[in-house]
Amino acid sequence: MQTEQAAELVHKIETLERNQQTQDVALSDLQQAMKFHGDFLLLLAHELRGPLSALFIETQTRSLLLDKSGSTAFTEDKLRNMVARDERQIRSMISLVDHMVEYTQLQNNTLSIQPVQTELSGLLSRVVTSVSDTPETEHGSSKITLHANQQTEGQWDAFRVEQIVTNLLSNALQSGAGKPIEVVLTATAAQIKIAIHQFANSSVSNAQGGIVDLFDAAATGKSRLALYITMQLAVAMAGSLTVTVAGEPDHATTFMLTLPR
């Protein structure tokens, strides 16, 4: 009888210990999630503060000019420059808001992936043309060259593929210091690969094979967020996104998007 009671007591103690371990793990996960959420909000606040502060300063400056000189202070050239600066800041905030929505969808597993019949060479040509026409490219010296001469068709989410390539090209332009950028499409029966070669030091971690973590100090806040979302989009389409960093003489960074066919 005593043996049975002792065995039951041991069983209860073991059950309590297992429950305690489960609670400890759950508490640790919750604390980590809360810290991650707090860091994410701080990152967003920091990134939004920049363009909002710039717009506020622009508004104050224009108000002072109006008080001092009236409408004569604003020539057509100055007005065009003002509008262009405002547009860049607004684009930046819209982009960040889009990233916030996508990040939330990814965390809640509500991101929509809709594969359709897609021809990739034409899609890449449109993306490269669109990115090349942005103000950031026009005011820099980076040249984007596309190597995708063969038609490549398959079932992919065209919008998400375009989003991934646009994010990667935008990151390359921001950190490329005017160096050339190449986009190369290759395909086999099983998969496709889109490589973006950036011939300059990038704002990504030097760790071979990995994309920066959302809070990796090796990249700026907005760049971190864009690259993190880009990687998650690739995974959501059953693909992968990796990076390799070469040394001398080109210091080339290559982002490789791989998707099944």
Could you report the per-residue pLDDT of 16-41, keeping only the tens digit for each?
Answer: 888 888 888 788 767 766 776 676 67
- Residue pair 192/259 in contact (Cβ under 8 Å)? The answer is yes
At 125 the three-state DSSP class reads helix
Please, which residues have CB within 8 angstroms of residue 55's CB and are 6 or more apart in sequence?
Answer: 86, 89, 90
The domain limits of the chain are 11-107, 116-260
Token look-up 């690969």 returns 193
Please tell me the predicted confidence (pLDDT) of residue 26.
Answer: 80
Could you report the per-residue pLDDT of 60-72, keeping only the tens digit for each?
Answer: 888 888 888 888 8
Kindly indicate whether the domain formed by 116-260 is annotated with CATH number 3.30.565.10.
yes
| pLDDT over 60 (residue 211) | no
Could you report the per-residue pLDDT of 140-186, keeping only the tens digit for each?
Answer: 567 899 999 889 999 999 999 999 999 899 888 877 667 789 999 99
pLDDT band at 205 (very low <50, low <70, confident <90, very high): very low
Identify whether 135 is preceded by a cis peptide bond (ω within 30 of 0).
Answer: no
**β-strands 144-147, 181-187: how paired?**
parallel
CATH architecture of the domain formed by 11-107: Orthogonal Bundle (1.10)
Alpha-carbon distance of 197 to 251, in angstroms, equals 10
Which residue from 248, 255, 252 is spatially nearest to 210, judged by alpha carbons? 255
Print burial letters for 63-100: b (CB count within 10 Å at least 16), e (below 16): eeeeeeeeeeeeeeeeeeeeeeeeeebeebeebbeebb
Give percent of the chain above pLDDT 70.
81
Predicted TM-score (pTM) of this structure: 0.67
